Structure 1
Amino acid sequence: MDQDIILETQGLGKEFRGFAAVSDVNLKVARGSIHALIGPNGAGKTTVFNLLTKFLPPTHGRVIYQGEDITALQPAEVALKGLIRSFQISAVFPNMSALDNVRVALLRVAGGSHRFWTSNRQLDAYTDRAMTLLADVGLTDFAQVLAGELAYGRKRALEIATTLALEPKLMLLDEPTQGMGIEDVDRVTALIRRVAEGRTILMVEHNLKVVATLADKITVLARGQVLSEGNYATVSQDPRVMEAYMGVSADEATELEGAHHG
């Protein structure tokens, strides 16, 4: 495996009662890049994420991470190796402060399990690191605010901070801007760019403006298969991509592209 490739899938597929949700997906995610997985609803993006993080076993194919075949591993084993997923639904403890959410995540990394009778003294050891992570995601002023009271965009920022606390080598972001207004989208886009420095990110994202802004490489899925791949300029001009997204034929898409530039 190429040293510059942190994650690779070979012929990855998943069938549910004979229906191929994902078929023969070959991905290569370059170390230190932001790689976006896009496609219309039902394209298989979330299924691919579930296969990568071992929440689903593949019907066929392999997942190779940092040169190791992880196809047969359990979700917790994969997470311990640094392949960390941030979920589509904000996954924070709503009745704990932003600071405590991050401190609990740091405690987990240190090998402690969170118990609700964990002493403050034990958590205090992680305060400085937690505050640094909150600063990284722009939440310094919200450290003592209950997570459940944070605005939606800030809640997602907190989720990214708790994901960073797990020291990911590869962060999988599942729809990080879903349900956000323009201001929150811009804030979270800037946040992802900032935390991507020195890290690798694979993201599923519907917002094509976000993808165009962030992604070094884009893989387009349609009907569970790779339709197109490349940078934004390449995939956005691929008539098959326009057909998949817009429902127009390849010929019409070519005409539209010509009219757009005309």
Structure 2
Amino acid sequence: MDTNIILETQGLTKEFRGFVAVRNVNLRVRRGTIHALIGPNGAGKTTVFNLLTKFHIPTAGQILFNGSDITAEKPAQIARRGIVRSFQISAVFPQMTVLENVKVALQRKLGLDHRFWQPVSTLRTLDPVAMDLLEQVGLDDAIHLLAADLPYGRKRTLEIATTLALDPELLLLDEPTQGMGHEDVDRIKDLIKKVSAQRTVLMVEHNMKVVADICDTITVLQRGEVLAEGPYASVSVNPAVREAYMGTEEEHV
């Protein structure tokens, strides 16, 4: 077993009433890297994410995490193993402050879920940890703002912060820069690069500039199958990739 591989899929396949959304995908994500899944709309990227986090059950194939077969495990088991997908716990509570949102996420990590019904003000012991996390992501100047009042880009930053509060070993980010302006994209890109120092990141991303700047390995999907894989320098000049996907994004590369 290659201990450098944190996540591996073997022949991963998903059928929906005769339609094959993902076909025979063999994915190997190296520990401590940023790995991107890219491809045109309908390529199967989100379905792969749903299979990895057990929102869908594979029709065929295996999923291995740290060498253990997790194919049959439930979403809660996956999360306990340290696989966290951004949207799973990033449903930010709009009428809570930035600090309170992070403290709610920290409750889960510290095994305090049974105290969820208590007022957030009773969890002051979590303040130092929450403040440290918010400082890491650049939100320490907004701790008393309501989440609802944050600009879009900073709200997405808060979502990532609540994800990081669970201290994931493998962080799955689904379109983290979607809908953002250039300044927010750069901020989120830098944040992902920063947080990847202590963990592995697998991300679905449409912005080729982000992918080119921070990703170590890129897997290109087309019609549910792996079309190409490798570093951006080689994938971006692959004729099949350029025809299938990159051509529509060349102005962003």
TM-score range, shorter chain: over 0.9
Q: Indicate if the aligned counterparts of 2:105 and 2:162 stay in contact, CA closer than 8 A.
A: yes
> What's 1:49 paired with?
49
d(CA) in 2 for partners of 1:150, 1:169: 28
The alignment partner of 2:129 has SS state of helix
Residue 125 of structure 1 deviates from its aligned partner by 1.2
Q: Indicate if the aligned counterparts of 1:90 and 1:155 stay in contact, CA closer than 8 A.
A: no
Residue 148 of structure 1 deviates from its aligned partner by 1.1
> What's 1:207 paired with?
207
> What's 1:179 paired with?
179
Unaligned runs of 5+ in 2: none
Matches within 5 A, 1:107-186: 107-113=107-113, 117-120=117-120, 122-186=122-186
**Pairing 1:92–2:92 present:** yes
d(CA) in 1 for partners of 2:163, 2:47: 20
> What's 1:2 paired with?
2
d(CA) in 1 for partners of 2:171, 2:180: 20
Q: What residue identity is the alignment partner of 1:231?
A: P
The alignment partner of 1:168 has SS state of coil
- Per the alignment, do residues 17 and 134 of structure 1 end up closer, same or farther by CA in structure 2, a change over 3 Å counting? same
d(CA) in 1 for partners of 2:89, 2:207: 16
Residue 113 of structure 1 deviates from its aligned partner by 2.1
Q: Indicate if the aligned counterparts of 1:193 and 1:214 stay in contact, CA closer than 8 A.
A: yes
TM-score, normalised via structure 1 length: 0.91
Residue 213 of structure 1 deviates from its aligned partner by 0.5
> What's 1:217 paired with?
217
Q: What residue identity is the alignment partner of 1:221?
A: L
Residue 217 of structure 1 deviates from its aligned partner by 0.3
Q: Bigger shift: 117-126 or 20-29?
A: 117-126
d(CA) in 1 for partners of 2:89, 2:169: 22
d(CA) in 1 for partners of 2:95, 2:246: 42
Residue 117 of structure 1 deviates from its aligned partner by 3.9
Q: Indicate if the aligned counterparts of 1:88 and 1:174 stay in contact, CA closer than 8 A.
A: no
Task: Give deviations 1:166-196, integer Å, cap 9, x for gaps.
Answer: 0100000000000000110011001111111
d(CA) in 2 for partners of 1:87, 1:40: 21
Q: What residue identity is the alignment partner of 1:197?
A: A
> What's 2:103 paired with?
103
Residue 13 of structure 1 deviates from its aligned partner by 0.5
Larger Rg: 1
Unaligned runs of 5+ in 1: 249-255, 257-262
Work out the percentage of aligned pairs sharing the same amino acid. Answer: 65
Residue 65 of structure 1 deviates from its aligned partner by 0.2
Q: What residue identity is the alignment partner of 1:198?
A: Q
d(CA) in 2 for partners of 1:100, 1:37: 33
The alignment partner of 1:140 has SS state of coil
